[in-house]
Amino acid sequence: MKYILIYTLLSLFVASNCSAQRKKTAEQLGNMQSEVDRMPTGTNTASSLHGPNSIVRTIKQDRKGNIWMASWEGVFRYDGKSFTNMTNTVSSARYFSVLEDKKGNFWFTSIGSGVYYYDGKSFRNFTSKEGLSSDRVTTIYEDRSGHIWFGSDNGVSRYDGKSFQNFKMNKATVPVTADSVHISVYQEQFPENHPMHNDVNATVEDNTGKLWFGTRGYACIYDGKTFKVVTHKDGKPFANVRSIIKDRKGNIWLGGYDGLWRYDGSTFTNFTRNFVGYIYEDKEGNILTSSESADKKSWVLSRYAEKSLSNGYPTVTEIANKPMIFGILEDDKRNIWFGSPDGVSAYNGKTITDFKGK
């Protein structure tokens, strides 16, 4: 069965939700935006009132409450008052993911420059010379044992604190010209030995200790010995899975070309067939997604109400509609942050504030 999927990493992820009783927070965000509006153009300081002006792919909050965002002009940290480009003197690479590990150290992935490790004082760069499977790394995940997994266009690398061990879903060789931001045309189902099966988008560990990998080819499960392709109940593989999460109940959620799916340990349930770029569970157990609109002209940030997820008729609320929306985060004040092609925004339940420069 043939199908066509044209996408680029420039067409992903979406934005957010929040409760409606934050008048104080709304005023704070509004005041911050007013200050951003007054910033002179061309301001070039390490810390400023505005965030990145380029693609923001991943947003995370650390244990101290700081918000980190990986963008194509650096990794920014927001302390509640100002933004600091943490990597502007380190590398001009395009950054894709951020992780704070269990020890409080940070990891940043990049396209072309491998991985950067930051202990709060200094940086250390890991590339294919140190054992990474590729220098084009897009995802990071820490498993229950404390191993760090890096997803690249050439499989995954597991770091145990001393060395890297590399894994591939098949023996295919990555194309020399691959950049993990190239446009790909899916004209038919890929053969088993296609290199796209090694191009990893997402990683998560389930309650049994198995690792799930979303790739540009097919999603698969790794049991510690072998990789097994994940299939629908009709036997069809999940193609181009962009995001995988495990919710508080242990369910696995997959989002990609085939839409939004939930696996409860025995059964797959579909919630939409629209292309889903990013999945996030908020503090109330609601599922937030970024997905392609029905007319395929924009991307929508949607909230699936937790209380309605089990009855087969989920209550879905559209929160934002933009040309493109990337990673999602709910901060400790219940504001929803999301990335876009030109920066980062926050939604407080009533209004959306953009933190891009002018």
Q: What is the pLDDT of residues 51-84, one digit of tens each?
A: 999 999 999 999 999 999 999 999 999 999 999 9
Domain 5-39+49-354 has CATH 2.130.10.10: yes
| pLDDT confidence of residue 158 | 98
Cβ-based neighbour number of residue 54 at 10 Å:
17
Confirm if 334 and 50 have CB atoms less than 8 A apart.
Answer: no
Share of the chain above pLDDT 90, in %: 71
What is the Cα–Cα distance from 356 to 54, expressed in whole angstroms? 9
What is the Cα–Cα distance from 321 to 315, expressed in whole angstroms? 18
In this predicted model, which residue has the larger pLDDT, 276 or 12? 276
| pLDDT confidence of residue 235 | 87
Confirm if 18 and 348 have CB atoms less than 8 A apart.
Answer: yes
Residue 351 CA to its chain's centroid (Å): 23
What is the Cα–Cα distance from 75 to 57, expressed in whole angstroms? 10
Q: Taking residues 85-92, what's their average pLDDT?
A: 94
Strand order in the sheet with 276-281: 276-281, 287-292, 299-304, 316-322
Span of 162-176, 215-229, 326-340 with lowest mean pLDDT = 162-176
Which range of 116-120, 298-302, 349-353 scores highest in mean pLDDT? It is: 116-120
Residue 26: is its pLDDT beyond 50? no
Task: Provide the residue ranges of all domains of the chain, joining segments of one domain with +.
Answer: 5-39+49-354
Query: What value does the CA radius of gyration of the chain take, rounded to a whole number of Å?
Result: 19
Cβ-based neighbour number of residue 19 at 10 Å:
11
* Mean of pLDDT over the chain: 85
Structure tokens at 165: 């061990």
